[in-house]
A = this chain, B = another copy of it.
Amino acid sequence: MESDKYTVQGFKASVLEAGIKKRGGLDLALLFSEREASAAGVFTGNKVKAAPILVSQENIKKGRARAIVANSGNANACTGEAGLQSARFTTEGIARELGIGPEQVLVASTGVIGAPLNTERIGKAIPELVKGLSPEAVPRVVEAIMTTDSFPKLSLFEGKAGGKPYKVVGMAKGAGMIMPDMATMLCFIITDIAVDPARLNEALVWGVARTFNRISVDGDMSTNDTVLVLANGAAGNGNLSPEDFQGFRVGLTKVMDELSTMIVRDGEGATKLIRIAIKGSATPADALTAARTVANSALVKTAFYGSDPNWGRIMAALGRAGIRMREEGVTIWVDDVKIVEKGMGRGAEPEARAAEKMKGKEFSVTVDLHEGEFEDHITTCDLTHEYVTINADYRT
């Protein structure tokens, strides 16, 4: 890649191998803004929250931060008071070395749950980590946060505000445990636009609802899901006009859309990317519930894997979703091939064409419930032998 494509004015990064990952490899990353940045975050809805989530939620309250430190190989979740101390040890160590306040450091972890984080190794690595900071290392942060990911996930948006060009660069890791109300394990976004913390948060929440909260790999939800964004204002734009704010919000969402789609494409063992779209539902909640129920059905997902347009399983999933629906109201398409009308199959010929579509790497399933005017969607993947292999053998 072009060496400066993913660099952002006023941001530096550093990565190294601290010895946290059992199998070795980069496992510690630091993102640093040379000036104080507006900061916003969205965190897992799981009641079991990892220690770094609790620390970052505390530190982000003022809407300001200068650094994000992240490790892979250990989630620092279900680690009790000792885990909190480890997370704080990390933020404080980074702060001391950078000469900033510890509350200006956000922290994130991913990996195995329930094992103590090796703070000795992190403490040892911190001076080198800080010393290694460079603008060029930004895109390498993804490498240090990967666990079962098979490819690095980076996205760039370039826009203009107040006549000044700015960049939004996002980096993410995903793979398993990808479900509702937060879908990536970790996503960090940096931008040089000038935007106040309240509006930054508004844009982030808006975008997350449309991207990370609209994907699902296996219906599970992590204890560590985190999306953080830092905006350091180095672009030198003035106050954001409504149009420029709208442009930024769209750009930020585009970055999160690309990253969240990559996460599904790289779902554990996934071979296909499927967009489940629900139309004509009685309420907005019904549309989302229907999409999630279909997207998370093990029977539907294995049929996707087998390129089988088994619409009976989709009907059965809709029927147990707890939504308003009438069997005879349902129409189903695979891409543009209508396979169900008025709740009944349209026969072998359209099914054969649908099966052909399903052999591809990407297709859509669209359901019209004919109950009302609302719609929603979930992007998901298939359930494969490889998913079982990966997850039956993750720790051992």
Contact = CB atoms under 8 A, between A and B. Distances in A.
A218 B78 contact: no
A306 B388 CA distance: 9
A319 B46 contact: yes
Contacts of A342: 80
A385 interface: yes
Given A176-B299, A297-B220, A114 B316 contact: no
Interface in A286-344: 296-299, 302-303, 305-308, 310-313, 315-320, 325-328, 340, 342-344
A48 B327 contact: yes
A310 B395 contact: yes
Contacts of A80: 328, 342-344
A393 interface: yes
Interface in A166-197: 176-177, 179-180
A285 interface: no
Question: Which of A316, A327, A394 has the largest count of B CB atoms less than 10 A from its CB?
Answer: A316
A118 interface: no
A3 interface: no
A384 interface: yes
Contacts of A316: 46, 48, 77, 113, 177, 220-223
Contacts of A311: 78, 113-114
A125 interface: no
A223 B299 contact: no
A163 interface: no
A144 interface: no
Nearest to A320: B221
A345 interface: yes
Contacts of A303: 391-392, 394
Copies of this chain, whole number: 2
A47 to B, nearest CB: 4
A308 B395 contact: yes
B219 A343 contact: no
A115 interface: yes
Given A308-B395, A387-B302, A388-B302, A47 B325 contact: yes
Contacts of A48: 315-316, 318-319, 325, 327, 343
A396 B348 CA distance: 12
A227 interface: no
Interface in A186-229: 218-223
A382 to B, nearest CB: 8
Contacts of A355: 396
A219 B297 contact: yes
A389 interface: yes
A62 to B, nearest CB: 26
Nearest to A310: B395
Interface in A48-75: 48-49, 75
B305 A392 contact: yes
Given A302-B387, A388-B385, A113 B77 contact: no
Question: Which of A48, A222, A389, A396 has the largest count of B CB atoms less than 10 A from its CB?
Answer: A48
A45 interface: yes
A237 interface: no
B344 A79 contact: yes
A8 interface: no
Contacts of A114: 311-312, 315, 340, 344-345
In the A-B complex, the 7 residue pairs with the smallest Cβ-Cβ separation, listed nearest first, are: A113-B312, A48-B319, A306-B392, A302-B391, A46-B319, A47-B319, A114-B345
19 contacts: A46-B316, A46-B319, A47-B327, A49-B327, A114-B311, A177-B299, A219-B297, A220-B298, A220-B313, A220-B316, A222-B316, A302-B391, A305-B388, A306-B393, A306-B396, A308-B392, A355-B396, A385-B385, A388-B388
